[in-house]
Structure 1
């Protein structure tokens, strides 16, 4: 049980704790496991890829590639085992993408006794497995829930935009959010709900929107993503 005196902190994962899009890296690996998957992915690319660019259709676009990569997996348990296999096989690559500054900030919150949650558009098992690889202290992860569909997996409930807040509340996190950390305009509902939002590693073109919507005093930091904006943190 968390004490009401302790803060409630929410971290995004991709481009916040991890340099890159962890879900895309996983899905690409799943697809590249066989030639026929790669060819099928190329076949659906002209239709599925544009869907990812728009929030209302993003879940459908992502689901198409997840389905191609997961064909033959008939349960969440099987899918999660593939995720664990991926993390074990790519420890060196993942280690290079971990953002040490971000994990220091997260660990500071844990040491202060704060209630910390990672809320991510990636599958929760992926973020959990990577987190276990870096930090042995368990942290609750809320992420995109997969479901079986036609011999593979698709995104059932996408932990993204307004639905990220819905999923946090549905998981029992009904406290006021003290601080939220994210890189993405898609997390504006989360950042706006926090008493102290912190933007980290944003796209350069998103900075003006963050300042306008969150206030000019909102910290906009760079925690080690070289191709992203924000004030560098030593």
Structure 2
């Protein structure tokens, strides 16, 4: 081992899109009443999702509607397996080859590679299984039962992502890859931050707050910025 700890975000970094939202969308579309309930709840839940301090509560609301009738944490794992099987072709197409090449180079060099994502860890693991990275450690958002469904207990996001990485026993971060302004705590903690596939409107902000010369790259997200 080289001793380097390399942390990858998942959504818009290894995967083109928001994998958790894609899963929740699939959960909601399983039945007409879930879809209608989500539409009716959207005026309340979407503003919560839009703002960092309340994002977990908005996500929890949609997840609860999508999982109502699910009474145990392991039941969500079974639903994730079904979703990944049902939508395998689309999911596989969303994995970013450039990103996977960089990830593999780190693994080949003996680096300790970790994925830290706002998505459920089981979802990221199942998607990475498509490209033979099933042994890759993943830290992600955790759910808990609530009133007949599931809600988010720990959102692996912003400062809490760093707290969860530290709680898992990981030390100083050598390299971090992420697209998101919400991952500034992760990027600022890394000795060598790398921004990939950022929203175009966030590029100037990243240049201001991250060390001079920080790479800002595009790994294949057509609607995103980066070189």
Task: Tell me which interval the TM-score lies in, with the shorter structure as reference length.
Answer: over 0.9
Match of 1:154 among 151, 162, 175: 151
Structure 1 unpaired stretches of 5+: none
Give the 4+ runs in structure 1 shifted more than 6 A: none
Distance 2:226 2:209 in 1: 16
Corresponding residue pairs, total: 227
Structure 2 unpaired stretches of 5+: none
1:182 and 2:178 are equivalent in the alignment = yes
State the SS of the aligned residue for 1:139.
Answer: coil
Q: 1:35-74 alignment to 2 at 5 Å?
A: 35-74=32-71
Match of 1:208 among 204, 211, 220: 204
Distance 2:169 2:26 in 1: 33
1:198 and 2:180 are equivalent in the alignment = no
| Aligned twin of 1:93 | 90
1:224 and 2:204 are equivalent in the alignment = no
State the SS of the aligned residue for 1:38.
Answer: helix
TM-score, scaled relative to structure 2? 0.98
For residue 61 of structure 1, report the CA deviation from its aligned partner.
Answer: 0.3
| Aligned twin of 1:121 | 118
For residue 136 of structure 1, report the CA deviation from its aligned partner.
Answer: 3.9
- After superposition, give the CA deviation of every residue in 1:84-113 in whole Å (9 maximum; x if it has no partner): 110011110011111000001001111111
- After superposition, give the CA deviation of every residue in 1:189-230 in whole Å (9 maximum; x if it has no partner): 000000000000000110011000003310000000000000
Q: CA RMSD in A?
A: 0.8
Distance 1:226 1:206 in 2: 15
For residue 135 of structure 1, report the CA deviation from its aligned partner.
Answer: 2.2
